[in-house]
Amino acid sequence: MNQRELGELRRRFRPEKSAISRVYGCYVNSSREIIAYIDESMGLMSQEEQEMYLGLLKKALSGGLGRNLINIEFSTAQVAGSDEHRLLQAVRQSSAQDKDAREALYRRIIDAMDMGESNYLILLAADTYDVPYKGRGDETLFQYFLCSICPVKAPTLELKYNNENSGFHSASTGHIALPPELGFLFPAFDDRAANIYNALFYSKNAAEIHQEVIDAVFR
């Protein structure tokens, strides 16, 4: 993937551009237990919520290629018949609707992921992009999914203004999903088409690429 192709995908993550119909995911505690699942229709969300979810997903395509964004290349043998590639294809080809495939992917990430004492959110969304080609009058379908893994900030107690009684009172901020620490796109968008031999991996901190998650998901 090059910077131009990356920018083309990033522009998809707006409510009026995206073909994402549902957002999936799970909320995980520091003991690697799933606290709750997410299975939400984008069409039933407010525009504000849509923008928040799409913003967290889009962040997994941020930064620079070769720094925050790392190309993952599969061998021919992996593409032909490995468990890891078969799982990614199952998520992709079902538009993330295959519950068993989603659960298997969550489990691979959770078993490998070390976020210390922090809870985190795994977000998953699938999109189908009709890639236009200038001057040719035809289109190519690019079917892909994006995964973002976001730390969750623990609630704090703060004084907040209450309109009803015109005063400041204690209130919890609630648990807040922060921008992702890592994530990935599958398959890669190379030459403006799907390349199932490649994936794109994101790490917020270029010095910490989360090799343990790369090994677990991509082998």
Q: Provide CB contacts within 8 A for 154, sequence distance 6+.
A: 119, 175
Query: Which residues, listed in sequence order, are joined to residue 183 by a DSSP beta bridge?
Result: 148, 202
pLDDT digits (tens, 9 = 90+) for 126-181: 999 999 876 555 668 999 999 999 999 887 777 887 888 777 877 767 788 999 99
Name which of 8, 7, 39, 15 is nearest 26 in CA terms. Answer: 39
**CA proximity to 123, closest of 148, 100, 93, 105:** 148
Checking if the pLDDT of 109 tops 90, the result is yes
The answer to whether residues 146 and 62 touch, using CB atoms and an 8 Å cutoff, is no
Pairing outcome for strands 69-73 and 167-172: unpaired
Q: Report the C-alpha gap between 106 and 89 in whole angstroms.
A: 15
Does residue 40 carry a pLDDT above 90? yes
Q: What is the rounded CA–CA span in Å between residue 26 and residue 80?
A: 30
What's the rounded Cα separation, in Å, for the pair 45 and 43?
6
Q: What is the mean pLDDT of the chain?
A: 92
Count CB neighbours of 98 within 10 A: 16
For 116-134, what is the mean pLDDT? 91
